[in-house]
């Protein structure tokens, strides 16, 4: 569904479970920090609101979104981690670089989840411009970080 028709911070309560004993790792891209910091804030607020303990939430930064899959893999292989949330932002530029990065990141994150049989969540914005990113990182369309966190919670309750 197009984001313009949905607020990323709204969701159903289906598959919501007690997460007080779950451990979450968040991998956050440093590139487009203004956006990824907002995504991180949204994810943390949602995890805490649903009962995650602050001491069971870990953050690791990677240089850019392209590095998210490897960072996720390093964390997903740890037995104590129940879910990994990847947060990044790749803004469309004038070259095809955007297409290659987005494809690699999406496929990489998917493969990590399948390899380690645990939720590895794609919380990466792929907007056409900075304003669209801001709108989806706490702006008029909600926060993709909220959506990524609630997706992790729901997948743990699957």
- Per the annotation, does 136 bind a ligand? yes
Query: Other CB atoms closer than 10 Å to residue 15's CB: what's the count?
Result: 13
- Per the annotation, does 89 bind a ligand? yes
- Per the annotation, does 95 bind a ligand? yes
- Per the annotation, does 158 bind a ligand? no
- Per the annotation, does 31 bind a ligand? yes
Task: Name the pairing type of β-strands 142-143 and 137-139.
Answer: antiparallel
97 carries an active-site annotation: yes
Please give the distance of CA 133 from its chain centroid, rounded to a whole number. 14
| Given 6, 49, 97, 140, the catalytic residue | 97
- Per the annotation, does 23 bind a ligand? no
Q: Is 137 helix (H, G, I), strand (E, B) or coil?
A: strand
Nearest CA among 91, 149, 89 for reference residue 124: 89
Query: Other CB atoms closer than 10 Å to residue 142's CB: what's the count?
Result: 20
Pick out the residues of the known binding site for (2S)-2-hydroxy-3-oxobutyl phosphate: 94-95, 136
Annotated binding site: 31, 65-67, 89-91, 94-95, 122, 136
Q: Which of the residues are catalytic?
A: 97
């Amino acid at each position: 569904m197009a984001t313009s028709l949905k607020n990323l911070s709204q969701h159903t309560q289906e598959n919501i479970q007690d997460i007080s004993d779950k451990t979450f790792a968040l991998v956050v891209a440093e590139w487009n920090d203004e956006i990824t910091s907002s995504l991180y804030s949204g994810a943390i607020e949602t995890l805490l609101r649903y009962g995650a303990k602050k001491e069971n939430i870990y953050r690791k930064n990677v240089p850019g979104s392209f590095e998210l899959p490897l960072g996720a893999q390093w964390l997903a292989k740890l037995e104590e981690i129940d879910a990994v949330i990847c947060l990044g932002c790749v803004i469309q530029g004038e070259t095809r670089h955007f297409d290659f990065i987005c494809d690699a990141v999406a496929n990489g994150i998917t493969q990590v989840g399948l390899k380690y049989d645990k939720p590895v969540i794609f919380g990466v914005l792929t907007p056409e411009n900075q304003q669209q990113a801001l709108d989806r990182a706490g702006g008029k369309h909600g926060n993709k970080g909220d959506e990524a966190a609630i997706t992790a919670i729901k997948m743990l309750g699957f």
